[in-house]
Homo-oligomer: A and B are copies of this chain.
Amino acid sequence: MGYDHAVFSEEQLLSVFRALSNPVRRQMLMWLKDPMSFPGQKAEDVEIGVCVTDIQRRMGLGQSTTSQYLTMLRQAGLVVATRRGKWTYYRRDEANIARLLETLRDVF
């Protein structure tokens, strides 16, 4: 069973486009396609994602900016956060991104 005609609210779409209207955040999302490409990433964590510090180092942003950007991407439904111990791992929400692309085809 799939999603029957993905529905995104106006506000959800707004948060998505706002999140993507920043090149740094778009690159974050791209790089998260390949978690192992982050220096420091351990093979056994690939499923759960990449931790904030590793993302920060690679993006060359401040720690707070990195955290904020990831929060925006999460609120837009583009990534998922998982807390494990003192680390928060972020990974792409592929299912929701696919749903979003379906919606965009209808909407535009």
A contacts, CB < 8 Å to B: 10, 13-14, 17-18, 20-21, 23, 26, 29-30, 97, 101, 104-105, 107-108
Whether A97 contacts B101 by the Cβ 8 Å rule is: no
Q: Chain B's nearest CB lies how many Å from the CB of A76?
A: 11
- How many whole Å from A9's CB to the nearest CB in chain B? 11
A95 CB to nearest B CB, Å: 13
Question: Roughly how many angstroms separate A40 CA and B30 CA in the complex, as a whole number?
Answer: 45
- The residue from B14, B23, B101, B108 contacting A23, defined by CB atoms under 8 A apart: B14
Query: A29 — which chain B residues lie within 8 A by C-beta?
Result: 108
Task: List residues of chain B with CB within 8 A of the CB of A101.
Answer: 101, 104-105, 108
A21 with B17: in contact, given A101-B108, A105-B101 (CB under 8 Å)?
Answer: yes
